[in-house]
Amino acid sequence: MKSILPISKLPSTSLPTDVFGWRNPDSKKQKQLVPNIVDVGNDQSIDLAIEMMSFLNVGQDRIRPPRENPGKRFEVAVLDHLRMQFQQRETTSEWMVERGNPAKGFAQYAHLGAIDELMEKSPELRATIGTDYMVTPDITVSIPDDSAGLMGGAPWLHAAISCKWTIRSDRVQNIRHEFNGLIRHRRGRQPHLITVTAEPLPSRIVAIARGTGELDAVYHVAYDALDQAVRRVGNEKQLADWEECVNLRRILPYERLAETLIRW
């Protein structure tokens, strides 16, 4: 496997390691600090996360606030990093990296705006058809109309990124639901559909990495750290699931994401 630098040794323009830290487990049975990416009810999650923190040189002096929302903080960190990466590269396109933009604001999905207006006027129609078409990706990467040359001024959606600090079964279904909506309702080129995560359990990553085309790939922000952790302390299932994802190129190092998006 190609060797890449761990996040802690990458330049300052890479995703900051301060998204990682330690916290109290909020459990009467467990008093010790745990990494802020763990599921405290899963021993493998704890073992792998501790090994990852060691690899990333994240000491227990880095305590995260007990009420902090790591998911939002993670999303902002990915947004800021991608913006910086695009700004540092000379390209022929003007890239726009943003949060909270609904799909209907982009060229492939502009027609959904008209549908939304009809829905607002008719509660009966909304109840009959539903609102599955209203998708708002965590992060969008788009190209202005003057670069894409399409559809009345709306930017062209190049990529939709779902940020998942950790992965649970309900979050997997949310990703599939949103991305399937972007696939079904587009008029024109399909955007790249990507998940970025810090989840320590390969058995949970594989739940979203497997599939029939709902997304292109999962990018892990601590790929090298997790690779080492799985090989050192992972059980047979975690190792098998990790190798499946790696060998099928369904899990990729986050450091490659910006360059991949620019080249595609």
- How is the chain split into domains, by residue range? 69-263
The pLDDT of residue 1 is above 50: no
pLDDT for the residue numbered 216? 93
The pLDDT of residue 128 is above 80: no
Quote the CA–CA distance of 143 and 155 in Å, as a whole number.
5
Q: Which of 101-110, 112-121, 135-144 has the lowest mean pLDDT?
A: 112-121
Average pLDDT across the chain, whole number: 84
| pLDDT band for position 139 (cuts 50, 70, 90) | very high
pLDDT for the residue numbered 27? 60
Close Cβ partners of 257 (under 8 Å, ≥ 6 residues apart): 82, 194, 196, 219
| Burial status of residue 169 (CB atoms within 10 A of its CB: 0-12, 13-18, 19 or more) | exposed
What residue type is 168 in one-letter code?
R
The architecture in CATH of the region 69-263 reads: 3-Layer(aba) Sandwich (3.40)
| pLDDT band for position 65 (cuts 50, 70, 90) | confident
Quote the CA–CA distance of 75 and 161 in Å, as a whole number.
10
The pLDDT of residue 204 is above 50: yes
pLDDT for the residue numbered 170? 72
